[in-house]
Amino acid sequence: MVDLKLHNTKTRKKEIFTPIDAENVRMYVCGPTVYDRAHLGNARPVVVFDVLNRVLRHVYGENHVTYVRNFTDVDDKINARAAQSGRLIGDITDETIAWFLDDMGALGAREPDHAPRATAYIGKMIAMMENLIEKGHAYAADGHVLFAVESYENYGALSGRSIDDMIAGARVEIADYKHNPMDFVLWKPSDETQPGWDSPWGYGRPGWHIECSAMSYELLGDSFDIHGGGNDLMFPHHENEIAQSKCAHPHGDFARYWLHNEMLQVEGKKMSKSLGNFFTVRDLLDQGVAGEVIRFVFMQTHYRKPMDWTGQKAKDAEATLRKWRAITDGVAPTNVAAPVLAALADDLNTAGAVAALHQLAAAGEAGVLKASAALMGLLTEELGAWSRDVAIGDEVSTLIEALLTDRANARADKNWARADELRNGFAAAGVLVKDTADGAVWELANGFDLTKLEALK
């Protein structure tokens, strides 16, 4: 078995990955808050952890990995969206979840084994809060439940921050019901316009962090292998998850390996609405950038480095994928090349793996190229439609244009037999030709038949 090495944020080192149970390797990744289309940055953790999911399954076996990624479907941003649009919260979250799965599927991301919604785990969150209160790690005040940060001595260890840094970084809300300004909200009261549930502390709703602690515990247990997310989540979200989980289940390890991806930028700048360089995955797909092209661009930057999305990279990626698809078309995948696996096993060095794919392509090793690319979710059947469409489209239009020139020449030469043959042939093949003042224009009818068209050559 290959040695898989992963960079663990907890120790700031690349470590050999040893699962708790090789029969069931367990991974939890923080998922999206569902109120809007995913932007391109949101897709980065999805693709990064999709590659890890595929590599784990390659190493430990298809059925020996449990991958959980949640949907945050209770959040004040969702409430604001509902209030502003006059729509029901449930309609917004259902629609956004369907969009998310669709858009991420277009990037070749496999769905996780479990995709729990926070609202389905409110009872489990309440039980966890009761446990924390009982052990003295949380307290109720003014309809709120707060986590007492001072009660957990390792608070801040993951991100390596001092209390002062954390206070500065968290834009801590000072509230008179808090014992310590750093204490964070587990539960807060709801009025009748906000979503809410009955609890021992009154009608209310959870704060954000508790959901991941409750859902990972229910689905993966008190100790699991890998926890992932963007590095913007390291503090406070992941620090808070650790504090809650370790205090509620002190005999567990919670997550053993913490992986964080760096952020995505666009043409060298932070992606933001005010800079006008903000776009969603769907925007790109609608502009004709294939999901596979987006995925391939992502692979060229290591997940722990900031990645820059540029139009040029997308063009280059498309050209490379077209070449590779032409080489591998109709070829059966054989085995994964050792250098590709070695690169991926080395803390997901996808850029190194892509370099190895280039070598396979140059050597004409089509079967190995196909199998190796598939491990990264590339050159797969599901993602190939874009290249087939365009390849066939190009071929057909070139042929039709050539036959139209042929017809024009036949007419000029008064070769009426050939001109008629072409006119009847177009009709039989399902190509509708119209002569206009600007020349002939054509479109394909239903029942278009490429073989009949080719017979006209």
Residues that bind ligand AMP (CB under 6 A): 30, 32-33, 41-42, 44-45, 229-230, 232-233, 263-264, 271
Q: In angstroms, give the least distance from the CB of 219 to Zn ion.
A: 13
Residue 212's binding partner out of Zn ion, ligand AMP, none, with CB under 5 to 8 Å set by partner kind: Zn ion
Q: Which residue's CB is nearer to ligand AMP, number 211 or number 365?
A: 211
The DSSP code for 150 is: G
Shorter beta-carbon distance to Zn ion: residue 212 or 356: 212
DSSP letters, 153-196, are: TTTTTTTT--HHHHHHHTTPPP-TT-SSTT-EEEEEE--TTS--
C-beta of 97: minimal distance to Zn ion in Å? 16
Which residue, among 208, 254, 258, has the nearest Cα to 229 in the 3D structure?
258
Q: Which residue is nearest to ligand AMP (CB)?
A: 230
Angle made by CA atoms 221, 227, 229, in degrees to the nearest 5: 140
Is the CB of 238 or the CB of 407 nearer to ligand AMP?
Answer: 238
Q: Pick from Zn ion, ligand AMP, none: which does 216 bind, CB < 5 to 8 A by kind?
A: none
Residue 112 CA to chain centroid, in angstroms?
Answer: 11
Q: What minimum distance in Å lies between the beta carbon of 186 and ligand AMP?
A: 19
Q: Which CB sits closer to Zn ion, 30 or 419?
A: 30
Which of the 8 DSSP states describes residue 359? H
Smallest gap from residue 61 Cβ to ligand AMP (A): 27
**Closest to Zn ion by CB, 30 or 133:** 30
Which option in Zn ion, ligand AMP, none does residue 41 bind, with CB closer than 5 to 8 A by kind? ligand AMP
Q: Parallel, antiparallel, or unpaired for β 25-29 and 223-230? A: parallel
Residue 80's contacts (CB-CB under 8 Å, 6 or more residues apart) are none
Residue 456 contacts which entry, ligand AMP, Zn ion, none (Cβ below 5-8 A, type-dependent): none
113 contacts: CB under 8 Å, gap ≥ 6:
65, 66, 67, 68
Note the residues at the interface with Zn ion (CB under 5 A).
Answer: 30, 212
Shortest spacing between CB 30 and ligand AMP, in angstroms: 5
Q: In the complex with ligand AMP, which residue's Cβ is closer, 259 or 369? A: 259
Measured from the CB of residue 183, what is the shortest distance to ligand AMP in angstroms? 22
Q: What is the DSSP string of 261-279?
A: EPPEEETTEE--GGGT---
Please state, as a whole number, how many other Cβ atoms lie within 10 Å of the Cβ of residue 28.
28
Report the first-to-last Cα separation within the chain, whole angstroms: 56
DSSP-derived pairing of the beta strands 184-189 and 5-8: unpaired
In the complex, least distance from residue 438 CB atom to ligand AMP, rounded to whole angstroms: 46
Residue 65's H or E segment, with its range, is strand 65-69
Q: If contact means CB under 5 to 8 A according to the sort of partner, which of Zn ion, ligand AMP, none does residue 219 touch?
A: none
Which residue number, 73 or 365, has a Cβ lying nearer to ligand AMP?
73
